[in-house]
Amino acid sequence: MLNIVLFGPPGCGKGTQAQFLEEKYQTPQISTGDLFRFNLKQETELGQLAKTFMDNGQLVPDEVTTNMLCEHLDNHPNPHGYIFDGYPRTTTQAQKLDVILAEKYNKEVSITVALVVDDELLVQRLLERGKTSGRADDVDESIIRNRIKEYYAKTAAVAEHYKAQGKWVEIDGVGTIEDITAKLCAAINDVL
């Protein structure tokens, strides 16, 4: 089982790269952002709960997010593993993911690959995406900046969790999509 954590700030290219990796390694992408947006669209109770946080560019509480992830894993078993995109976003979530993988499959995170992109470029990319993505949180620059602020306040520290486990690789997230995919695959192939 190959469990890849794709890590990095909003707009760093996790979703784009996950599409290529899922096919190559037969590991489906699990994007907690997509799962929340699906729930929003379906107007579920979970969607309602997440909406205010998402609209303000804040993180949804850990427990809500983790329960949603667990349910998704149970409904989508895959012996090859998964690509985690957007989870973990806090140290608590990182600790939880270790427990979940151990309890459910007797496995661990195989590697965490972090895409590094300069903040101003992130803002530009997200504003550009906002023209077509239909995502309310991509249109307003102050919400985008708030998401980046949340990333530094709560998410960036997750790096320490994986560095301590020797499972942390940083990759330059600026360049062509193909070049970045090649670098990601090289890092992942090293742990296969």
Q: Which residues would be at the binding site for ligand ADP (CB under 6 A)?
A: 10-11, 31-33, 36, 53-54, 57-60, 65, 86-87, 89, 93, 147
Q: How far is the CB of 108 from ligand ADP (least distance, A)?
A: 19
Nearer to ligand ADP by Cβ, of 16 and 189: the residue is 16
Q: How far is the CB of 78 from ligand ADP (least distance, A)?
A: 19
Q: How far is the CB of 51 from ligand ADP (least distance, A)?
A: 9
In the chain the beta strands, taken as DSSP E runs, fall at 2-7, 29-31, 81-85, 111-116, 168-172
User: What tokens does 140 get?
Assistant: 């307003």
Nearer to ligand ADP by Cβ, of 93 and 110: the residue is 93
Q: How far is the CB of 189 from ligand ADP (least distance, A)?
A: 25
Nearer to ligand ADP by Cβ, of 36 and 168: the residue is 36
Q: What single-letter amino acid sits at 185?
A: C
Question: Sheet of 111-116: strands edge to edge?
Answer: 29-31, 81-85, 2-7, 111-116, 168-172
Report the distance separating Cα 12 and Cα 97, nearest Å. 22
Burial category of 64 from C-beta neighbours within 10 Å (exposed 0-12, middle 13-18, buried 19 and up): middle
Nearest Cα to Cα of residue 130 among 3, 122, 90: 122
Q: How far is the CB of 19 from ligand ADP (least distance, A)?
A: 14
User: Cis peptide leading into 88, omega within 30 of 0?
Assistant: yes
Nearer to ligand ADP by Cβ, of 16 and 165: the residue is 16
Nearer to ligand ADP by Cβ, of 60 and 109: the residue is 60
Report the distance separating Cα 129 and Cα 135, nearest Å. 9
Nearer to ligand ADP by Cβ, of 104 and 186: the residue is 104
Q: How far is the CB of 10 from ligand ADP (least distance, A)?
A: 3
Report the distance separating Cα 27 and Cα 29, nearest Å. 7
